[in-house]
Structure 1
């Protein structure tokens, strides 16, 4: 259980740092490339869901 909590904290810290770094950058073509952005975002969520399911499966088995 401690390992899971430590992993969540580490992932949270990396996510916070990444969000802050990307927040300072702006993309002027973002509004014109909505379809591509939504497609990439959808794939990110699909991959994340798969990784999370595998992680939960491993956690339950162990």
Structure 2
């Protein structure tokens, strides 16, 4: 169980960092739309992390 949790966290962090790195490579003229999209993606990652964290805690508490 701990391995799966660590794996989910690692994949989430790598995905977030990759998204930010790819977004920084875009040409300057697209900066406004990239900034908005990056903000939206970051918000989605944060919300997904919170929902998954609640689900994992709920599962752990329910199983024990």
TM-based fold match above 0.5: yes
TM-score by length of 1: 0.62
TM-score by length of 2: 0.61
- 2:57 corresponds, among 28, 52, 60, to 60
Runs of 4+ deviating beyond 2 Å: 6-9
Q: Which has the higher contact order (CA 8 A, sep 6+)?
A: 2
1:6 to partner: Cα distance: 3.0
RMSD: 2.6
Q: Which runs of 5+ in 2 are unaligned?
A: 60-64
Q: 1:51 to 1:41 in 2, by over 3 A?
A: same
Q: Which runs of 5+ in 1 are unaligned?
A: none
Count residues in correspondence: 52
Higher helix share: 2
